[in-house]
Chain A
Amino acid sequence: METPIAAITAFVLDEFLPDVGHGGLDPDYDLVAGGVIDSLGLLKVLAWLEATYDFPTDEVDVGPDDLATVAAMARLLAGARPQPATADAP
C-alpha cells in the first residue's frame, strides 16, 4: 500500500506542480513559503485529506504550519503534532 508521504506527494504534484517529476519534491520543502500553495490551496489540501482519509477537519485544530510540507501533512494524519522548532542557537 502507498504510504501517506507518497500519496500526499502525488496529490501535491498533480494539483499544484504538474510538470515536476516524482523525485523532484522533498517532503520537507516548505510549500507555503515556496509559493506552491496559497491560502486557497490549503483549503484544497484540507478537502482532499477529508475525502481521502476521512480526516475530521471539523474536529481537529489545523493550523497553516500543519500543512506547510508533505511531511507535516503526514504527521497531521498520523495524529502527531509537528516537531517543535529547534531551540535558538546560543
Chain B
Amino acid sequence: MVEPLDIAAAVATHVARRPAATALAWQGGAVTYRGLDELAADAGAGLRDLGRAPGEPLGAALTKGPAAVALVLACLRERRPVLLVPPDLAPATRTALWARAGCRYGLPHGDPRAPEAVPHPAGPATAASPAGGAGDHPALLLTTSGTTGVPKVVPLGGGAVGRFVAWAIDRFGLAPGTAVLSHAPLHFDLSLLDVWATLSAGGQVVLVEPGREVRPDHLHRLLSVHRVEVVQAVPMVYRLLLGSPATAGAPLGHLRHVIFTGDHLSPADALRLRDLAPAARLHNVYGCTETNDSFAHELGDDPFDGARGGVLPIGRPLPGVSAVIVGPDGAEVGGAGEGELWVSTPFQTTGYAGGGGPQPFAPRPETPERPWFRTGDLVARDATGRIVLTGRRDHQVKVRGVRVDTAQVEQLLRTHPHVVDAAVVAAPDPVGGHALHAVVQRAAGSGLDSLALRSYCAGRLAAAAIPSSIRLGDLPLPRTSTGKPDRRSIAAALATS
C-alpha cells in the first residue's frame, strides 16, 4: 500500500526549494510558494488565538481564493482538523452542522480573526470520532452533498488523505511546475487532487473564480493561458466546453490527463473530448466523499469499448481498494452478475461524525482493519470483470454532478403549508445530466406561486436540489393503483409538453 504523504511537510519543502515558483494562479496573477507560506503563517497566527480542545474541529465556510487555500494549509500545519462547508449554506444549517461535528468555533467568512462561537444547546461538544483507524485522527472533514436538512459530516484522517494524495501524484504524474485546474469548490473531495495533491507535488493550482465555474469562455482561457496539464471535473463542465464556440478550433494541446467523475459522460462526448484535448489520456473515475476515488477506467482508442447502454465502465479498483458486489439476497456475487457495489479504500472515512442518520458502513471479513461502505450504486459485472453502473438502490440522481434524492425533495415540498401533494421527477438534461421537475398540488384558493415555493426551498434545499421547473395546480396528482403519485405518467406528460 502507498505510504501516506504529509501535505504540510511536502508544501514546506517546496517553499524552501522553489520559493519563487507559482503555487496558485488567481485572477490573472500568481501567488508564489513563498507568498502562500506567508499567507498560511498569518492565518496560523489567527488560529492560535482561538482556543482548542484535543481533536476538536474548526468550522470554515470558504469561498475559493488564495486566503481560503492558506487557511486550510494553516490548519493542516497546526494539526487542527477543519470542517469545510459550502459558503452558500443557509446560516442556520451551517451552525447546526458545526455543532454536530463538535466545533466550538466556526469561520463564516473563512477569516480566523472573525470567528463565530457555535452554540451547543445539548451540552458540551463531542469531538469528531477518529477517521481512519487507530491513530489516524481527522485532518479534513468534508460534507456529503445532502439534499435536505443538515448534510452528513465525513471525517478524513491525515493518513487517509495522505495516501490519496500520494496515489494521485503518482497516477497523474504531478511534479514541480505541473499546472492543474481547480474547478470544484474547496469543500468538495475533488479538491484533494486538484489543490492538495498539486501543492504537495510543487505544482501550480489554477483556481477557477467562484461564480464563473460554468462559463466555458473563462474555463477555456484558464486552460489555455496557464498551459494546464491535468483537469478533473464533473461531466457537465466538459459538455459546456464542447458546446461552446469559445473552444471550437482551439484544441488544448497541453492537457495530459482529463478526468471526469461524479456522473456519466457519454462515449460520444468522450470521442469529442479527444479533439479538444488531442494529447490527453481520458479517465472515468468513480468514487464518493466517504471513500474518495475507488475505481478508474482509462479510455482506450475506442471509447465505446466496454460501454453498456451508452454508459462507460468504471474500470478496476485502484491499488489497495477492495470491492464486492452484493446481490439482493445479501450474498456476494462472484463473477458476472448484478448487485450493489460495496467498497473499502485506503482513503476512506470510518463513519460520519456526530451521527446524522443511518451509517451505510458495515464490517466484512476481507479487511478487518476498516469498514466497508455500501455505495447504494447498482452495478453489473461482465465475464471479463468490467463493471458498469446501472442505477441506484434509492431515489438518488446526479444533478450537475451533485447527488440529489428526489424523494427528499418531494417530502420537503409537502412541508409547505399550502402544498397538498408533490411529485418530483428527474429528466435527462443535455448539460446538467439530470434536471428536476416538480408537479405540485396546492391548497385550493391559496394562490401559491412558484416564486413563493422557490423562496421556501432556497433556505432548505441544496442548490442542485431545487427543481428546474415547478408546476402548480389545484387538481390532485395522478396516482398509481397503490395510491402513490404516478411519477411515470407525470414524467411522460412533462416530456411531451
Contacts and interface: CB of A to CB of B under 8 A. Distances in A.
Given A19-B472, A20-B451, A35-B461, A43 B211 contact: no
Nearest to A26: B451
A8 B455 CA distance: 20
B466 interface: yes
B488 interface: no
B57 interface: no
A40 B461 contact: no
B455 A34 contact: yes
A17 B451 contact: yes
Interface string A50-62: 0000000110000
Contacts of A20: 449-451
Interface string A13-56: 00001111100110001000111101110110000000000000
Contact of A35 (B212, B215, B400, B458): B458
Contact residues on A (Cβ < 8 Å of other chain), bracket: 20 to 34
A19 B214 CA distance: 27
Contact of A19 (B212, B431, B450, B461): B450
Contact of A58 (B213, B217, B432): B217
Interface in B462-483: 463-464, 466, 468, 470-472
Contacts of A35: 454-455, 457-458, 461, 463, 466
A64 interface: yes
Nearest to A64: B211
Contacts, number: 56
Nearest to B214: A39
Contact of A63 (B212, B214, B431, B458): B212
Tell which of A17, A35, A58 has the most Cβ of chain B within 10 Å.
A35
A43 B472 contact: no
A38 B466 contact: yes
A34 B454 contact: yes
A18 B451 CA distance: 10
B458 A34 contact: yes
Given A35-B461, A35-B466, A43 B454 contact: no
A90 to B, nearest CB: 16
Interface of A: 17-21, 24-25, 29, 33-36, 38-40, 42-43, 57-58, 63-65
Q: Which 5 A-B pairs have the closest CB atoms?
A: A64-B211, A35-B458, A35-B466, A35-B454, A39-B214
Interface of B: 210-215, 217, 400, 431-432, 449-451, 454-455, 457-458, 461, 463-464, 466, 468, 470-472
